[in-house]
Amino acid sequence: MVTTLRQLLDDVTDRAGTRPPGATIEEVSGALAHLGRALTGLAVDGLTPGDSHRQRNAAALAAACTTAGRLWPHSGGPLTDLAGAAADLVGRDRAIMGRSHRWAATVEVAEVADHCARLGRWLLPETAAPELDVVRQWSATIERDAQADPPTAAASVVLERLVPLPGPPSGEAEVTVLDAAAGLLAALDRVQRADDLTLRDFRAAVAAAELTSRCAAVAAGMTGRDAGLLLVAGLAWQLAGRASMVFHDGPRGASGDRGGVVSSSQALVSALRNEVSAPADMGEQRGQKTSADVAAAVQEAANQIPVLADRLTLAVERWSRTGRLFANARDLPRMDVMPEDRIQAVIAGKHVRALGDDLAHIRQAVGRAADLSTGQADALNRAGIKPLAQRHQTDRRDRVAKVPGDAERLLSRAHAADRDSKGIRLLPAPRQIPPSR
């Protein structure tokens, strides 16, 4: 079963909060050592552009956790192992984290460190190991900072990144929605590392994002919530796919599905349809799932769409630099100062390499869909639809990510997507575009 950084940290919190505890002080010490390792990496990479109280507080908590982690020899155990896995995930994602992502991860890890230190204090005499009190003090300092300036919904996406699967999902067995989403993200990572993402891959991933967004809206409606605005995210992804139809891969376009993006997208679509579209009278065969269960399962996939959007945004940016895509010169955006060779290509209707601002429309469409998907996932989380893996954590405090100004910005993007869908052509109609290969 796939997991996320948030789920691992939640599991550590649950185990640390169990009374009577099932963990030993050696396990607590080992867990704090791993959390200190994660915090050290986040602090070294930087939470702010320069020196600041936030930066120093994170470094101090990292040092306190590391110190507490040296008090007892590590004997292993579930608490230590879960914290170690969480620290490994933080280390894996350091290369793609920005400062806002690192702040979101720091806040979550600090909360878990506080729970572990609290357990350690419960296991020991009152005056023993004052290092645990230091951990709690610095955790409280970071918590106060987070209350004044909480991580944004967009930054918290890093906590929902799935652990990649070793390969694309197999079509021979039923694949869960979360497994399929993890498979798609892993496939995108593989092809992007090889710089081999084709337009066919891009369109398949966009189609999967569109259907996931629409299913999330349907699932929200199944639980009695207004799904009207949530449908706009699906519409935005549809427009992003339409914007890509102007381009083609040119003579170097690869055939087949070497990276597994198309098959992984199909697996996600199939899993979503199995989850949402089955008739209500199939409850027994579906394991007596309720509407809330279905909504929670679909939300797990919806939480991954902002991550997928990041991959697609990077792909468009790379295409704009490398000129890998081609298009009819007449279908590209107008240029303030058009060079002579472009003028001749427009007159002749020739196909040219698309560079820079030639991809402005598709870049804008993907960016709009990404913002709406982030808002959609945040709206579902605010509504209280908990993923199945987190249903037992009802006693854990739910921090609501506050996004200053995002409500108005997302609403304006929703209006823009709606306007585009009602007759304003996003791009000129393509003329004789060779099929993508």
On whether both 13 and 101 belong to a single domain, the answer is yes
SS (H, E, C) 142-202: HHHHHHHCCCCHHHHHHHHCECCCCCCCCCCCCCCHHHHHHHHHHHHHHHHHCCCCCHHHH
Q: Of 160, 175, 199, 436, whose CA–CA distance to 312 is shortest?
A: 199
Shared-domain flag, residues 130 and 184: no
Residues 280 and 137 in one domain: no
pLDDT for 273 beyond 70: yes
Place of tokens 């951990």: 135
> Angle 30-145-143 (CA atoms, 0-180°, nearest 5)?
40
The amino acid occupying position 31 is A
For residues 127 and 188, membership in a common domain is answered with: no
Alpha carbons 419 and 411: distance in angstroms, whole number? 12
Domain-located, residue 168: no
Question: Please, which pLDDT band fits residue 26 given cuts at 50, 70 and 90?
Answer: very high
Residue 299: inside a domain: yes
Asked whether residue 115 falls in the same domain as residue 206, the answer is no
Note whether 142 and 192 are same-domain residues.
Answer: no
Q: Is residue 430 part of a domain?
A: no
Q: Residue 98 domain-assigned? A: yes
3-state secondary structure of 4: strand
Instruction: Judge if 181 and 283 occupy the same domain.
Output: yes
| pLDDT 10s digits, 333-364 | 888 888 888 889 899 999 999 999 999 999 99
Low-confidence winner among 110-124, 200-214, 292-306 (lowest mean pLDDT): 292-306
Verify that 280 and 395 share a domain, yes or no: yes
Q: Are 108 and 7 in contact (CB under 8 A)?
A: no
Residue 62 near residue 39 (C-beta atoms within 8 A): yes
**Strand boundaries in 301-421, DSSP class E:** 326-328, 351-353
Q: Is residue 224 part of a domain?
A: yes
**Domain contains 339:** no
Whether 69 and 186 map to the same domain: the answer is: no
427 domain residue, yes or no: no
Residues 201 and 294 in one domain: yes
Structural domain including 232 reads 177-321+359-421
Chain mean pLDDT for the chain: 81
User: What is the number of domains present in the chain?
Assistant: 2
pTM beyond 0.85, yes or no: no
Distance CA 368, CA 360 (A): 12
In a domain, 341, yes or no: no
Cα–Cα distance, 434 to 65 (Å, whole number): 59
120 and 212 part of one domain:
no
Indicate whether 183 and 49 sit together in one domain: no
